[in-house]
Structure 1
Amino acid sequence: RQVRSFIEQHGESRFTPKQTGYSSQVRQRAGWIDTSGPQTLYLFYPTGWREATEGLSPDRAAKALMAAGYLVPDGNRPQRKVSLPDNTRPRMYCVKGSILDD
Structure 2
Amino acid sequence: MSLKEYASQYYGAVGMEWLRKVVANRQTIASTITNKLAEFTGSVAMPGSTGQIMRVARRFALVAVAGELATQYGLTGWEEGQSFYTAQVCFRAWLDAFGREGNREDRAILAQVRAFFESHGASRFDNVRTPNNERVLNRAGFYSTDDEGYRVYMVLTEVFKKELCLGFDPKMVVRVLMNEGWLQPSPDGLPTHKPRIRGVGTPRVYKFTDKIWGGE
Fold-level match, TM-score > 0.5? yes
Q: TM-score, normalised by structure 2?
A: 0.43
Partner of 1:98: 211
Structure 1 residue identity aligned to 2:152: L
Residue 131 (structure 2) aligns with:
21
CA distance in 2, matches of 1:87, 1:56: 29
CA distance in 2, matches of 1:37, 1:2: 27
Which structure 1 residue ranges, 4+ long, deviate > 6 Å from structure 2?
Answer: none
Q: Does the Cα contact within 8 Å between 1:19 and 1:36 map onto a contact in 2?
A: no
Query: Are 2:172 and 1:60 equivalent residues in the alignment?
Result: yes
Query: 1:71: Cα distance to partner?
Result: 0.4
Q: Relative contact order (C-alpha < 8 Å, sep 6+): which is higher?
A: 1
Question: Tell me, which stretches of 5 or more residues in structure 2 are unaligned?
Answer: 1-110
Structure 1: runs of 5 or more not aligned? none
What is the alpha-carbon distance in structure 1 between the residues aligned to residue 121 and residue 178 of structure 2? Answer: 21
Q: Which amino acid aligns with 2:191?
A: P
Structure 1 window deviating more from structure 2 (19-28 vs 3-12): it is 19-28
Query: Which of residues 110, 120, 123 in structure 2 aligns to 1:10?
Result: 120
Conserved 8 A contact 1:45-1:93? yes
Deviations 1:36-95 (A, max 9, x none): 456531100012102111111122111111111110112331111112132511211001
- Report % sequence identity: 30
Q: CA separation in 1, counterparts of 2:199 and 2:114?
A: 27
The Cα RMSD (Å) is 1.8
Task: Point out the structure with max Rg over C-alpha.
Answer: 2
Q: Is 1:42 the equivalent of 2:159?
A: no
> What TM-score, normalized to structure 1?
0.86
